[in-house]
Amino acid sequence: MACTLCPRSCGADRASRPGFCGLGEEMLIARIAPHLWEEPPVSGRNGTGAVFFSGCTLRCVYCQNAEISHHNAGRVFSPRELSDALKRLADLGVHTISLITATPFIPRILDTLELWRPPLPLVWNTSGYETVETLRMLDGVIDVYLPDLKHFSSRAGRLCAGAPDYFEYASAALQEMCRQTGPAVYGEDGIMRRGVLVRHLILPGFTAESMKLLTWIRDTLPDGTPVSLMRQYTPCNDVSVPGLDRKVSEKEYRRVRDHMLALELPGFLQEPDSADVDFIPVFNRESSFV
């Protein structure tokens, strides 16, 4: 069947040949393990049960997880195998289950959740490059959306991900996510039970983009939508885009942070010492699976 699950809408029959994302129909997964380094309402004290799916529909040139997003490292899981892994994660006491860059596998994930639905908030961790039609398949399934909002201009989308339509899709997608979940709801433990938490990674040389995106969030998304402002960009690949070969400067970070504070957006600011390659998880080891 012609795949149109993501905005690339490449129409590949993935049963016989992979599409733009390079993925067949079976779930390919790079890591399943507790993960402590998401935002506090997702990770809490014990971590989120993170399922890192292989491949990506956006494939940013600067991706810090290129081994799995560009090169599709991982191993095949059946719905039954993933269901069993989710049970093991829940038994470890994680607060939430995070499905990370999972869009190409939505049909298999829905099969998995038919077998067993974790009694924990289900988090959809995404680049934000989603179609509204595909997100509607998740309506009533996903409790918490954790989307990135990366680029405002078509120029930045094209340069950084070959996706000049990134903002067109992501802006509609985030509004659909907010419609589905309603306002953020937290438990007494501070863990998000429902809602949307928007992430934005500041890129060196692109602070004007960051500021436009933060203003768009304030003007468009429901009041109280939390934002996580991240500064950990670390050059990892041979990136040809000017400026992306360095970290974000202190001056750039302060400029964007001050804009977020002036807009009175609630949320999180990342600590300076997170801007280090040491924080990037290592994938494709046997120890990567619970």
Q: Where do contacts with ligand SF4 occur on this chain (CB under 6 A)?
A: 3-6, 8-10, 12, 14, 19-21, 23, 57, 104
Minimum separation from the CB atom of position 109 to ligand SF4 (A): 13
Pick 106 or 260: Cβ nearer ligand SF4: 106
Minimum separation from the CB atom of position 5 to ligand SF4 (A): 4
Minimum separation from the CB atom of position 157 to ligand SF4 (A): 16
Pick 12 or 192: Cβ nearer ligand SF4: 12
Minimum separation from the CB atom of position 4 to ligand SF4 (A): 5
Minimum separation from the CB atom of position 124 to ligand SF4 (A): 15
Pick 55 or 121: Cβ nearer ligand SF4: 55
Minimum separation from the CB atom of position 18 to ligand SF4 (A): 7
Pick 142 or 256: Cβ nearer ligand SF4: 142
Q: Return the structure tokens found at 151.
A: 């680029």
Phi/psi of residue 45, nearest 5 degrees = -85, -35
Pick 3 or 192: Cβ nearer ligand SF4: 3
Minimum separation from the CB atom of position 145 to ligand SF4 (A): 18
CA distances 202 to 22, 41, 199, Å, are 28, 21, 10
Q: How far apart are CA 195 and CA 180, in angstroms?
A: 8
Minimum separation from the CB atom of position 126 to ligand SF4 (A): 12
| Largest Cα span, the chain | 52
Pick 127 or 225: Cβ nearer ligand SF4: 127
Pick 163 or 214: Cβ nearer ligand SF4: 163
Pick 129 or 253: Cβ nearer ligand SF4: 129
Check: CB of residue 232 under 8 Å from CB of residue 201: yes
The DSSP secondary structure of the chain, one letter per residue, reads -B--SSTT----BTTTS--TT---SSEEEEEEEEE--S-HHHHTTT-EEEEEES--SS--TT-TTHHHHTT---EEE-HHHHHHHHHHHHHTT-SEEEEES-GGGHHHHHHHHHH---SS-EEEEE-S---HHHHGGGTTT-SEEEEB---SSHHHHHHHHS-TTHHHHHHHHHHHHHHHH-S-EE-TTS-EEEEE-EEEE--TT-HHHHHHHHHHHHHHSPTT--EEEE------S---STTTTSPPPHHHHHHHHHHHHHTT--EEE--GGG-SGGGSPP-SSGGGB-
Point out the residue whose Cβ comes nearest to ligand SF4. Answer: 19
